[in-house]
Structure 1
Amino acid sequence: MTNISNPILRGFNPDPSILRVGEDFYIATSTFEWYPGVQIHHSRDLVNWRLVARPLERAGQLDMRGDPDGCGVWAPDLSHADGRFWLVFTDVKRYGATTVHGAKGMSLRDFPNHVVTCETIDGIWSDAAHINSSGFDPALFHDDDGRSWMLNMLWDHRPGRGRFAGIQAQQLDRATLKLVGEPTLIFKGTERGFTEGPHIYKRGGFYHLLVAEGGTGWDHAVVMARSPDLLGPYEVHPDGAVLTSAGRRDVPIARAGHGDLVELADGSTWLAYLCGRPLPGRERCIMGRETAIQPMLWGEDGWLRTVAGDARPDPSPPAPNLPPAPWNAPPWDGRFDDPHLPQDLQWLRSPAPERLFSLTERPGFLRLYGRETVGSLFEQALVARRQTAFRFTATTSLSFAPRSFQQAAGLIHYYNSTKFYYLCVSAEDGRRQLQLVSASPENPAGNSLDIMVDALPPGPIDLRADVDGDRLTFAWRADGEADWHRLPDVHDASILSDEVTLPGLPNFTGAFIGMACQDLSGGGTPADFASFVYREEEFDAPPD
């Protein structure tokens, strides 16, 4: 018997929305400030998955320039009706508490929700239509009476109101993409609080409401309630959480919550949910929130439970009885021989990638145009891929001729603008230097710059990063050299996690490794990368 190895979508892939259309399964996950927006993976056996689409790819759908770290695209929901795929999502524009006219505790945030549609999952999706802005985590429920309903959590910014006010529902006209009537608060949540991530399913004469609760950290949970009427009132599951790893941090699958259900052709029910894999002894999930899946059972009382009845995530559940369907596409070899950006890579925020990079200006190279700092919220020439393993090596070959300290380019291990390690080539007094620029909430100085090599030789420079659990080391070599010059310092890679943060900042993504270029003179000095090779070791379990 084949077993599923959880998580099925490794590296930063949170907030799964799962859908079956015939023999095909799809999972949409959040991308936050990374562009293009939303990842959709495809499978035919729940074991083998491939990235099939990133549908939000132009300004008419998504423009995140200025979105704070940890904002952007939250919790997409994927559904199918009227022969079309429907995708609703939040583009978070503002996050954080503030004080307005002395009203302490007020938390004004901006949560515009949008919908796009397409007849095929990998086609060109429509421009985004704005639906509402009352809260995040939108979802569509298409009832069997022909009506569709928009769900989202309700954000209450007023002081002392709890902020997470519950789940609201409102009818959506599919033809006009407009809401009909008034919203109804259908569920206020349980004592766990932080009620979000709603989905509704119809079964056995009841509307079953699934929500995420407990916050997206160690106490995260999947909670369910049911009602004979979609608008409630809802009765809460008698067991409490349907799935959670709350109270346990020493397990391979932690932080379990925010799920969605799918029914197979044989009638079995599966739950896709987010999770995190903490480093042993560090309680830090450097790869962020990932996606796992496991079978569930409906009891004689009509309530859903895990197969074991323990509400715990299963690291290795048996695969469903479906024909094996592996994808045979070879992995990217790390070379830039194609005029399109390899699928492994993404960039930040901007719907104008032509201002950030080119694969045609110098064929065979990824050219990054020096833009703003790696801490910018607007226009960064930073192209990277997810870290998906506890152990990996990343190398790149860089051709770059900086003229001043304002210009830099190199290899970056990145979480957000407050957490990164950037091994870069810059210039000082007419000579090229190898520098390490870093940012960490655990560094009292915030950002730091260290000279690693005072004078580099001419020509291309190879840069290398090695990660083993929470240990990050760097190396370099000149063009034509066989041996690497290893830099002596060992850096703490675990800071690139949700769990290490400055107070009040959202941290919901995961570690990326890639290439960056900046030119603070405004001249757009380019850097050319001949290759970017990412190699990982077995990652079924974290290092000891």
Structure 2
Amino acid sequence: MTVAANPVIRGFAPDPSLIRVDEWYYVATSSFEWFPTIPVHRSRDLAHWEYAGHVSGAAPGDSLAGTPDSGGIWAPSLSWDGERFWVVYAIVRSVGSRHFDLDTYISTATHVDGEWTAPRRVASHGFDPALFHHKGRLWLLNMQSDHRPGGNRFAGIVLTELDRETLRPLGETHLLLQHDRLIEGPKLLVRDGWYYLVLAEGGTGFEHGARVARSHSLTGPYELDQLPLLTTRDDPKVLLQKAGHAELVQTPTGEWFLSHLAARPLHTEHGMRCPLGRETAVQAVVWDTDGWPRLRQGGWHPAVEVEVPTVADPADRPSPVRDGGAVHAEGALTWPWSTLRAAPDPSWADTAARPGWIRLRGRQGPESLWDQSLLAQRITEHRAEVEVTVEARPRTFGESAGLTLRYNTASYLSLDLTWAEPEGEPQRGQQWRGEGRTVLSLLEHDEEGARQVAVVDVEAGVPVVLGASVEGAEARFWYVREGVRTPVGPPLDFSRLSDDHGSKLRFTGAFAGIHAQDLVAAEFTADFGGFRLGCMPG
């Protein structure tokens, strides 16, 4: 047997949807406001996973401009009908409001890394949709939301048949199940004459879990299992918290496994915080004598190490997903680089102007929901180090470029090369006089606003190496002066870059990246070289 070490896909990789096609397993995960949209990983053995592509074109117009933090693409569900991959997902335009203002889309492809069809909108009852292919028919599962005052935002699970060609609804929508505890994320499977409905339960925080219901009839009524399939809500000491949002898959030899999301918390003075976001894990499943699925190890707590089948030829096994970015041979910025609300474009992220470097043209600021010039990679461990060389000549306080640790528009840390007034002169916006300093400015931003933590003078026009080290809940920034790492400012609270900080809903994870801004002319450029992100387990 092979041992899978959970999480098997580390860092921001939530809401995994797991399927098997012949000898390969595929997982699609949520991308929210980030591009590439709907990353897909693949594995031969459930233990070793590699990036396999993404659902290109999932956002109509290839843009999520204006989408709020943690909006965008929620909980894609991947499926296979014997000929094509299908994916169904919701694009959520409002977060934390009574109206989710969402649209549900379906796209198909013959290969996950190939061309996906243009997304087609289908019945949009709520988020977390799924497709059920059964006896040549196509069914759309969803949760429904009652937005009316006094209504239940999680008002039950519904099922609608769709025409396979037009995707139009056929017949009525069926209410399958309602429950006192929040339920969402429905998935359907058939086994031994039963239809099993696998549900996410309790919300996606520390109360999260997975619950199963079943019926002899597709349209119900469904009987709810008295025990959870998976949860950690009863024990904060379990290493993998927030366990839930599960999907079951059968191996070629008849064994059963499930994918689920989980998080590895830091235990801070503010409580548990999960800056790595929600990650993808797998568990082994058996069926009890009454026909309910149970975790193989017993109980409902997820295991960190899980035995999975060994593939016949280890040479066919993909290598683990690794940290560190690269510029594609043709100059395209590819995975693991990610961008906000649109894919990278040479008009602002240029790899041809200076071979081996990335030239960013500054656009809007780090709190914009529209046009940020940002390239970032997921932080996948609680110990990490990032560094990059930046070369630029900022001439106004509206021009800056540097290194950022980021969660969203409300939570980020950044060390930027920028302009400042001469020593002792107040901020009066007189940069056009040509006087001033080139400085490194360390900013800390949370829901209460931005604070300038430290300012360091540097020589104008000279490349400077910037870096940051993460150790648990602490982040330290530095730059290289005369070959020596020199700290900039005090240690900062990295745990604020998490789902669990602040008062608003948060669903993504921490990134490390490079960015540039020019708030006036959108012409300022900065060159970045030698970007390196290392994430160290343990």
TM over 0.5: yes
> Secondary structure of the residue that 1:494 maps to in structure 2?
helix
Other-structure match for 1:168:
158
Task: State how far apart, in whole Å, the 1-side matches of 2:319 and 2:302 are.
Answer: 29
Other-structure match for 1:102:
none
Report the number of matched residues: 519
2:260 aligned with 1:261: no
Relative to structure 1, the CA distance from residue 77 to residue 201 in structure 2 (aligned partners, 3 Å threshold; closer, same or farther) is: same
Identity across matched positions, percent: 38
2:214 aligned with 1:213: no
Relative to structure 1, the CA distance from residue 49 to residue 493 in structure 2 (aligned partners, 3 Å threshold; closer, same or farther) is: same
Q: How big is each residue's C-alpha offset from its partner over 1:24-79, in whole Å with a ceiling of 9 and x where there is no partner? A: 00000001110121110000011110011112347646421110000101000000
The answer to which of 355-364 and 11-20 deviates more is 355-364
| Aligned 8 A contact 1:61 1:127 in 2 | no
Pick from 402, 406, 411: which aligns with 2:403?
411
Q: Which amino acid aligns with 2:451?
A: S
2:233 aligned with 1:246: yes
Task: State how far apart, in whole Å, the 1-side matches of 2:345 and 2:248 are.
Answer: 35
2:436 aligned with 1:430: yes
| Aligned 8 A contact 1:466 1:473 in 2 | yes
2:261 aligned with 1:274: yes
Other-structure match for 2:524:
525
| Aligned 8 A contact 2:260 2:280 in 1 | yes
Q: Which amino acid aligns with 1:147?
A: R
Pairwise CA distance, 1:392: 1.0
Other-structure match for 1:319:
308
Task: State how far apart, in whole Å, the 2-side matches of 1:331 and 1:273 are.
Answer: 21
Other-structure match for 1:304:
293
Q: How big is each residue's C-alpha offset from its partner over 1:301-347, in whole Å with a ceiling of 9 and x where there is no partner? A: 11111113301111111122433453358957655473011411110
Give unmatched runs, 5+ long, in structure 2: 421-434
Task: State how far apart, in whole Å, the 1-side matches of 2:249 and 2:278 are.
Answer: 20
Q: How big is each residue's C-alpha offset from its partner over 1:507-537, in whole Å with a ceiling of 9 and x where there is no partner? A: 0000000001111003331111112101122
Equivalent residues in 2 for 1:84-483 (5 A)? 84-97=84-97, 107-143=98-134, 145-189=135-179, 191=180, 193-239=181-227, 241-281=228-268, 282-323=271-312, 324=314, 325-328=316-319, 334=325, 336=327, 338=329, 339-351=331-343, 353-428=345-420, 429-441=435-447, 445-478=448-481, 481-483=482-484
| Aligned 8 A contact 1:154 1:165 in 2 | yes
Task: State how far apart, in whole Å, the 2-side matches of 1:334 and 1:254 are.
Answer: 29
> Secondary structure of the residue that 1:509 maps to in structure 2?
coil
Output the aligned Cα RMSD: 1.8
Relative to structure 1, the CA distance from residue 314 to residue 439 in structure 2 (aligned partners, 3 Å threshold; closer, same or farther) is: same
The TM-score normalised by the length of structure 1 is 0.92
Task: State how far apart, in whole Å, the 2-side matches of 1:244 and 1:227 are.
Answer: 23
Give unmatched runs, 5+ long, in structure 1: 98-106, 540-544
| Aligned 8 A contact 1:365 1:529 in 2 | yes
| Aligned 8 A contact 2:4 2:48 in 1 | no
Q: How big is each residue's C-alpha offset from its partner over 1:454-475, in whole Å with a ceiling of 9 and x where there is no partner? A: 3445311110000010110011
The TM-score normalised by the length of structure 2 is 0.93
Q: How big is each residue's C-alpha offset from its partner over 1:408-446, in whole Å with a ceiling of 9 and x where there is no partner? A: 1100000000000011011124321100122123xxx42
| Aligned 8 A contact 1:28 1:40 in 2 | yes
> Secondary structure of the residue that 2:55 maps to in structure 1?
coil
Relative to structure 1, the CA distance from residue 3 to residue 521 in structure 2 (aligned partners, 3 Å threshold; closer, same or farther) is: same
Task: State how far apart, in whole Å, the 2-side matches of 1:236 and 1:327 are.
Answer: 38
Relative to structure 1, the CA distance from residue 511 to residue 116 in structure 2 (aligned partners, 3 Å threshold; closer, same or farther) is: same
| Aligned 8 A contact 1:434 1:456 in 2 | no
Other-structure match for 1:22:
22
Task: State how far apart, in whole Å, the 1-side matches of 2:348 and 2:356 are.
Answer: 17
Pairwise CA distance, 1:488: 4.1
The answer to which of 405-414 and 301-310 deviates more is 301-310
